Structures are given as C-alpha cells and as structure tokens.
Chain A
C-alpha cells in the first residue's frame, strides 16, 4: 500500500510530548527497576532518561539528525542493557532502544496522526491506538505460552528451565537431545505410530459419514432434521469426560474396549460433528439445480455425487477432515478410557510424561506438533481462499 499522508506532521509542543515520552520511559523502567532491586528508582530513572533523550532529539537536534539520533539511542540502550544483564540484556536493550528512538519521533513530530483523517478528535486518535494495543496484548497473551515452549525444547538440561547458558546464548546451553530422545525412544515412536495409524482412519470414517449426513440433512424432505442434527453434533457439546466414560462401559460390553477399532470408532464419533458443520456450511452455497441437471442428463445419484456435487463441496469436506484429524491427533481423554496401553497415542504419552517425569522431550514433541498444526491450518486457509476465488467471491 502506498504511503498516504492525510494529516500534516509538524513538531508538537513540548508540554505534550515530554510527559507522554517520559511516561513511556517510566513504564519500561518499572520492569528494569524491579529486576535490579528498586522499582521506584527504575520508574524515575526511566522517565528521566527517556525524557532527556526526547528533549535532546526533538528540541536540540531535530529532524535532520533523526537517523543518527536513533542509532545513538539504540547503541546507548545496548550498552546499558549489557552492563545490567550481559548479552541477553544487550539484546533486550537494543529492542527497547529501537522502540524509544522511533517512539520519541513518532510522538514529537505528530506522526501518529499521519495516516488518520484530519477531523478526528484527540480522544478518537487515542482510542484508535489503544484499540490496536489491546488487540496486540490479547494476541501476545494467546501466543506467548506456545512461543515459550519452543526455545525450551532445545534445552541441554533435563528440566523446564531457562538455564544461565541459554539466556546468554551460549551454544553449550542448547542441544537437540530432547528431539533425539523423541526419535530414538521406542515409547515415543510407538506413540507416534499409534497416533499416525489411528488419526487418518478415524478421519476417513468421520469424513465419509459426516459428508453423507450433511448432504442428507440439507435436503428438505428429511423429517426431524434439526433433532437428528443435534444428536450428531452432540459429541462436540457433551463434556468429553462424559462421552469417554460412556464409551468405556459400552465398548467394554461389546468387546471393543482396548482395541484399535474401538479407538478409531471413538475418534470418528468425535470428528463427525466438525465434518457435518463445515460441509453443511458449504452446501448452503451449493445450487441444487445442478444435481437435477445432472440427473436430467442421465447420471445416477452416485455419479452425480462424485462428478458434480463432490468437487464443489470439496473445500468444506477437506477442512472438516482436517479438523477431524486434529481432534483425533490431539485427543487424550477418550483414548485414556477407550484405549489400552497398546493404543498409547502421542497426547497420552505426553500426559504421562508430564505427570510422572517433567522431561523437555514433551516440549520437543509439542514443538513438532505445533509445526504440523500450523501446516494443516495453512492448508485450510489456502483451500478456503481457493474456494472463494472459484466461486467468484473475492477478486484475488
């Protein structure tokens, strides 16, 4: 997108930018100060330091020197961070320096209004940015637990701890031993194999039954459509532990408990609702007259389904299938009940590992699973875009 400047940028009065910039400095000072013993000193120090830098940058050196000043601030913070916290401190300091260099000019020269329409009130501008900061904070809140796991999985120690070596980026603090443990331990490999052999079959069953059910339920002549739909969706709504206990006793009586088939069927039942929902949603956009046209040209229902209907609803089927796959792949409660030790899946093995022995191998597996999940979700998104494009809903 081209840079459009809607509102003129000019120097702001010092009575406005100095308090804002100092407050921002004080905010970071809270953390630095607390980490080094005195919160109050941190707040004051941060406010004074950043305020002074701002004064120097905006009132004395001004816009022509911007590049130099910003690099100087980064350098200053890197050195300061290094003195306080070694190499990790320097990295954090560098990030802070970059941010404050940018922030001082952003506030001081009214740049925050540059891309906004001129008639906004200060309150509206404030909300514009506050809204983005809140969204960012929620995003950080959601993603941080996953991100923290990833570096920890390269820990050279056998604990869930950022060792001093790791924090100072010493290569000796990192290792692939937990990945090696995963790939060489027969327990984990058996669990991986179980997961890999259960999930696709369960997915296949869920997709076949779910798609058929969705097609059936979307035709108007079926009686009690809503009731049937509710029953089929129920595994998604009923608490998992209830389904699991029920399945345990039922499957025990009919001899399916502790068997591969039992686990596959249980996982298929959990996956079907996802397929029904996505396929039903796709069928809304499906033109029924196409099936009539196909029938008119002499194709039987089966041929019509595979040649006409299936290709058009395929994106819904595939994304439902992916959800069913992930459900089976991530599921731990039902398999603990319905499976026996011979069907120990990856989540089961992780559950044991976490309870009995806090080993970072779990983190290594988690990292691998996150990577797989990201790949699957990217596929879903690409398929969704493709289907929109094919149906002419978006120009891209």
Chain B
C-alpha cells in the first residue's frame, strides 16, 4: 500500500517535471572534457549561454577525456552509462565508434545549419572523420622555444629540422612520449619528401630510419606525456624547445607572459569533438541532442576561439573569430589555421596510425628503453 502510494507520487512528480521541460528532457547532464583552459573555453562559450536559456538544467563536468575509452568500456560492461556527452580526440572517437560505444548520428538531423545557409554536412566538411564524431575544433601539435635561450649569432628557429640541429641550437628538447608526430618529423628532417613520409614509415626500414634520426637527439630529449608538461618545462627554462598543443603555448606566451615564441613549421593538425555514448535513456538523449545542436552552431564555435587559440571546426565560424575575451588581442594570428602559420602543415593521418600504431608503438617503446 505504502509502496504503491510512493510509486504514484514519484510518477506524478516525474510527469510534472516532464511537462515543465517541454519534451521529456533530463535536467542533468554530465559532460566529459579535458579540464584546464580548454574546458573553460567550452564552459564560457557554450555551457553558460545554454544554461541561461535553460535554467532548469544543471551541468556536471568530469575531467576524464584522457581515459574516456577505457572508462566507457567499463561503463558499458557494467551497464551503467553515467556520461552524457564526451569530448575526445578524433582517433579515440574512431575507436569508440568501431567498438559501438559511441552513437552514430545524422549531421543534417543533429547539427544546426551554418549561419551562411550551408548545410551542416558541407559546413563541417571533411572534419567529420567518423560517423560518431561531432567536431568542435582543430588544434595543432607544434613547437615553442625560449626566446632568451636562442644562442648568440643564431637566428630564431623557424624550421622543424632545427629541433634536430644540436650544433646550432644546443639544449634540451621536450617531445611527446609516443611515436606519433615524432616519427614524421624525424623522417622529414632526414630528407624524406613530405608526400612520401607515410609510405616510408609503413616499412620496417623506414621506421628504423626515423628512430635512427631521433637517436641523434635522444640524449637531449625530455619526454612528456601530459599537455601541461612542456609549458612547465619551458617556463622553468629546463628545455630550449618543446612540442605541445598550440593552445597551451598560446597560454604560456600571452596569458602567462613567458619569454616563449611559437615555431609553426610542420605543425600537425588534429581534431577534437564530442561523441554521444550509446545506450543513453530517452530523456537524457533528448537533452544531449538539444545541447549539441546549440553548442556546435556557427556562433558558439566562433565564440570558443575567444578563450583559446583553437580553430573552429565549421567553415562558417572562421570569419566570426574575433578578439580574446580577457586580453583583447586579435585571435586570428594565433590560430593554427591562419595562413601565415599554416605554410607547412601535416594532418594527423588517422588511417595510417590506426593500422600501424600498435606495431610502431612497441618499437618506439623498446627504442626508448635502450
């Protein structure tokens, strides 16, 4: 008797709540992202405006994008999906999609049209690298160097091969502790033509060639694993130059005012975006869809560039990129996609690394341990 009463009461409550939020949408959302300045840009550019329009919604952030693949697997196994929307890099999105952990979507249905009237599919273009991937930004992995540690008489480094030139530019370098990007850069500086790099890297000899090139600077490399490492090492003066995400370097240079400058040569573009986990209950899925439509529209993606120097994934957003929200500086010259910065670029080769990653990873790790 008592139980039935309670059940009735709960149903009534749920029903009223449902009516209140128009079309049966959940009022709570857990968003997963990377923390730090990046998450802050998402909070400011889309979450806060969304909450202003929907005061009944509450958003919780979970800074777990780093281990999103593993955690989603565990959640799926336990049958308990606690995340609503997950921010991942494109390669993770492809993996999650292949494993059926991320939901496939129809761009025309889920995403808003561009401000210029172009369809969502055209507006994002080939940024949609997977059927599950909802692109937000393009970022690049590139180098920064200490301006006060450039040797006397030498020009400031402006060529990727300066990383491998210990004679002109002595000092430590920070490189990411994984083969991706490092192998490409090594081959490029070992005389391999840019359009042949992946053909060479597919062969064991080519992999050895890249490792041999890296061997020439191995003693002067500090290996990093978190995006925050290189900024810290540069600020400490522990390294002369180091690779990291361009937004991190922007923050070191412009926000923290450190004597550091960018070296854009041979920057590697990569994409970051949302995925929706599979198996969300109806009401939560409805809320997420509503949010995603808003958060990836032309204006919101352009707004994000006010807070961090990553390029919006929509073509129609590019002309709207303006000034930094706090510093008031023009953000266009700091975008990796800015023509002056993008004279020599790579695009992360998803297919190649999907096929060769395990193999080359193993070689790279054993080379590191030597």
- Cβ of B61 under 8 Å from chain A: yes
Whether A356 contacts B60 by the Cβ 8 Å rule is no
B82 and A352 form a contact (CB under 8 A): no
Q: Which of B62, B63, B78 has the most CB of A within 10 A?
A: B63
Least CB separation from A158: chain B residue = B256
Beyond A158-B256, A159-B256, A161-B235, is A355–B79 a contact (Cβ under 8 Å)?
A: no
- A68 in the interface (beta carbon within 8 A): no
Interface-side segment among B16-24, B30-38, B322-330: B30-38
Residues of B within 8 A of A355 (CB): 35, 66, 226, 228
The A-B contact count (CB < 8 A) is 67
Query: How many residues from A make CB contacts under 8 Å with B?
Result: 22
By beta carbon, the residue of chain A nearest B228 is A358
Choose from B61, B232, B236 the contact partner of A341 (Cβ within 8 Å).
Answer: B61
Q: Given the complex, which residues of B lie within 8 Å of A258, measured CB to CB? A: 80, 82
Q: Are B62 and A356 in contact (CB under 8 A)?
A: no
* Residues in chain B near residue A181, CB distance under 8 A: none
A132 within 8 A of B: no
Picked from A341, A352, A353, A358, the residue with its CB within 8 Å of the CB of B60 is A341
- Chain A, Cβ-Cβ closest to B58: A342
Known: A341-B60, A353-B35, A355-B226. A248 touches B74 (CB 8 A): yes
Q: Contact residue range for chain B? A: 20 to 34
Please encode chain A, from 119 to 160, with 1 for each CB lying within 8 Å of some chain B CB and 0 for all others: 000000000000000000000000000000000000001111
* With A157-B256, A161-B236 as contacts: A356 and B78 at CB distance below 8 Å: no
Report the nearest A residue to B74, measured CB to CB: A248
| B229 proximal to A (CB < 8 A) | yes
* Mask: chain A, 250-268; 1 = CB below 8 Å from B; 0 = not: 0011000110000000000
B180-237 contacts to A (CB < 8 Å): 226-229, 231-232, 235-236
- Asked if residues B30 and A358 are in contact (CB atoms below 8 Å), the reply is no
Name the residue on A nearest B60 (C-beta).
Answer: A341
User: Across the interface, do A356 and B256 meet the contact criterion of CB distance under 8 Å?
Assistant: no
Q: Are B63 and A252 in contact (CB under 8 A)?
A: no
Contact indicator B79/A252 (Cβ below 8 Å): yes
- Which residue in chain A gives the minimum CB-CB distance to B38? A356
- At the interface, yes or no: A357 with Cβ under 8 Å from chain B? yes
Q: Mark A235-277, 1 if CB is under 8 A from B, else 0.
A: 0000000000000110011000110000000000000000000
B50-94 near A? 1/0 per residue, CB < 8 Å:
000000000011111010000000110111101000000000000
Distance of A142 Cα from B44 Cα, bound (Å): 43
**With an 8 A cutoff between CB atoms, is A340 at the interface?**
yes
Say how far B10's CB is from chain A's closest CB, in angstroms.
15
Contact across chains for A252 and B80 when beta carbons are under 8 A apart: yes
Pick the contact of B80: A158, A159, A257 (CB < 8 A). Answer: A257
Determine the chain A residues whose CB is within 8 A of the CB of B82 once the complex forms: 257-258, 340
A328 to chain B, nearest CB (A): 21
Known: A161-B236, A341-B61, A353-B35. A358 touches B231 (CB 8 A): yes
Residues of chain A in range 336-366 having any CB-CB distance to chain B below 8 Å: 340-342, 344, 352-353, 355-358
Q: List, in ascending order, chain A residues with CB within 8 A of B64's CB.
A: 341
- Contacts of A341 on B, CB cut-off 8 Å? 30, 32, 60-62, 64
B37 touching A357 by the CB < 8 A rule? yes
Known: A356-B36, A357-B37. 18 other contacts (CB 8 A): A159-B235, A159-B236, A159-B256, A160-B236, A161-B235, A161-B236, A248-B78, A249-B78, A252-B75, A258-B80, A258-B82, A340-B60, A341-B30, A341-B64, A352-B35, A352-B63, A355-B66, A358-B231
A selection of 14 A-B contacts at a CB cut-off of 8 Å is A159-B232, A159-B235, A249-B74, A249-B77, A249-B78, A252-B79, A257-B78, A258-B80, A340-B62, A341-B32, A341-B60, A352-B35, A356-B228, A357-B37
Question: Which are the 10 A-B pairs with shortest beta-carbon distances?
Answer: A252-B78, A341-B62, A356-B35, A357-B36, A252-B80, A159-B235, A352-B63, A358-B228, A356-B36, A341-B60
